[in-house]
Structure 1
Amino acid sequence: MVSQLESEKQSTIIYPESDGQPMADNTKQFRWITVIHGNLSWLFANDEMVFVAGDLLWYPVEGNPKITQAPDVMVIFGVPKGDRGSYKQWEENNIAPQVVFEILSPSNTQKEMSKKLLFYNRHGVEEYYIYDPDKNQLSGFLRSGEDLDVIDSMDNWESPRLGIRFDMSGEELQLYLPNGEIFQGIEQIKEQLQQKDEQLQQKDEQLQQKDEQLQQKDEQLELLVAKLREMGIEPDELK
């Protein structure tokens, strides 16, 4: 009876899918969130067991919906891609997001960011990156043992999990994919996808043309065989 009551209690707990806060406070913050999310999604597009999410509520503890955070971008290795209203860790083989990004806006306070750091430290994040686009300041933390430790220098830092590189030598952060290509904006990614679709379409058209040519050759061969037989010649006898 006790276990049944506990089960019914668990089933009535509501885990909201929104915290009522906007995804971004301004266009600059939104642009950075979408660029990081889009390029990481592109990077792991062919790996079905890497889930990349933006502004998605993460619940690490079953039964306590008050313990939650919505990282600007988070990457989780070992769980399948797919749509989710929130990330309930206990429903995902208890796998915590390994990499988290936060993009600062003027409204973010030091107290708020300190709480986020404590949250990510407590709940198993392996890499945590914070970028302030207004001040062009980047901070990073890497898990060592039980805690997230600050990364001394972020310039040319390479993420152990993602393989991406952070370049702070310019007027704003530049991010590079493992193949050396720079992170691109969403419009550029769309253009690349469109170009790939066009290339695939061209290949399909070429294959279709080859099929048509082969079909024409087969038809010509059949006509030749028919003419030979009209002349009383069996094509097999010519071999």
Structure 2
Amino acid sequence: MTTQLQTQLLPTQQPEKVLYPDSDGLPMSDNTRQFGWIVKLKEGCEALFKDNPNVFVAGDLLWYPIEGDNKTKRAPDIMVVFGRPKGYRGSYQQWLEDNIAPQVVFEILSPGKYAIGNGDE
């Protein structure tokens, strides 16, 4: 009598891949004056740290602080990160950046957001 052993292969479960979009679909500024200040501050920060290869400056770049969570995000008008190299990023995924959060952020208020603490930050 021959005994046959059958093995059933179960599909391996792959963790669901989390996408981190490069855009939130929101406008960068509400008016030309606000945009002008964003550009001046970003360019000024870049000029200030141009000789330091480990200071990353970005404008309107999505920042994801928590791996696996693409709902928790911010896109500050300008952010400065000390200890991270300059270079292209589609978004700033903090866990890929030695878990270093931006140390300086700027938000340029539009006329509709004149008071800090209005609940929209």
Question: TM-score range, shorter-chain basis?
Answer: 0.7 to 0.9
TM-score by length of 2: 0.84
Alignment match of 2:120 (pick from 112, 117, 130)? 112
Percent sequence identity is 56
**Pairwise CA distance, 1:111:** 1.2
Gaps in structure 2 of 5+ consecutive residues: 1-11
Shift of 1:24: 0.6
1:22 is matched with which residue? 27
Question: Which has more strand, going by share of residues?
Answer: 1
What is the distance in 2 between the residues matched to 1:59 and 1:71? 11
Secondary structure of residue in 1 paired with 2:120 = helix
Classify the secondary structure of the residue corresponding to 1:30.
Answer: helix
Output aligned runs, 1:1-239, within 5 Å: 5=13, 8-9=15-16, 12-108=17-113, 110-113=118-121
Aligned equivalents of 1:98, 1:5: Cα separation in 2: 38
Distance 2:28 2:20 in 1: 18
Letter in 2 for 1:43: L
More helix by share: 1
**TM-score with structure 1 setting the length:** 0.43
| 2:102 aligned partner, one-letter code | P
1:132 counterpart residue number: none
The CA deviation at 1:107 is 3.4
Q: Distance in 2 between matches of 1:97 and 1:83?
A: 16
SS in 1 for 2:99: coil
2: CA distance, partners of 1:57 / 1:15: 9
Q: Aligned partners of 2:100, 2:51: CA distance in 1, in Å?
A: 20
Partners in 2 of 1:61 and 1:71 — Cα distance?
16
Distance of 2:39 and 2:120 partners within structure 1: 22
What is the distance in 2 between the residues matched to 1:32 and 1:47?
23
Based on CA coordinates, which of the two structures has the bigger radius of gyration? 1
SS at match of 2:69: coil
Q: Which amino acid aligns with 1:56?
A: L
Distance in 1, matches of 2:34 and 2:102, equals: 21
Count of aligned pairs: 107
CA distance in 2, matches of 1:66, 1:45: 33
Instruction: Tell me the SS of whatever aligns to 1:106.
Output: coil
